Structure 1
Amino acid sequence: MTIHTYTDLPLIDRAAFELACARHGFAPIHFDVRGETDPDDPEHGELLVVRRGAWAQAYRIDARGQWLRQFEVDLNGRFFRQAPYL
């Protein structure tokens, strides 16, 4: 599956992403979400790259939704709060 925006995520992942954003005072539109092939391991699927401002984080997409837990950890750690406004 090719992911161009967060709306291309599977429905369950999209809903979980929206809820995680809301819990931390964000909306999905605050983030640029794109799927990219892992340049170091192209045979094992895509990475989901989430950007906000100058900050970006890559998550490995898997069937268990591990990337969502990692995204929420980054939100809890205020990783994306530090993004400068352009």
Structure 2
Amino acid sequence: MEGDLVQMGAYIGAGLACLGMGGAGIGVGHVAGNYLAGALRNPSAAPGQTAFLFIGIAFAEALGIFSFLVALLLMFAV
């Protein structure tokens, strides 16, 4: 009975950790949307900002990968 309760807590924690992946998706959307808005306002400056676009997407996506890692650790390390 006690093992089932611990397993249930691990699954609930993993589900809550997966909320970070949704946050990462929202973050990537904001980064790409703001880049697109800036590129449409000033098309000549867009090529100079492309590197910052990819850096921002990488940082936002790294947070999603970290939350996925935490979810996996909670599910399988118990």
TM normalised by structure 1 equals 0.22
Question: Which has the larger Rg?
Answer: 2
Structure number with the higher strand fraction is 1
TM normalised by structure 2 equals 0.24
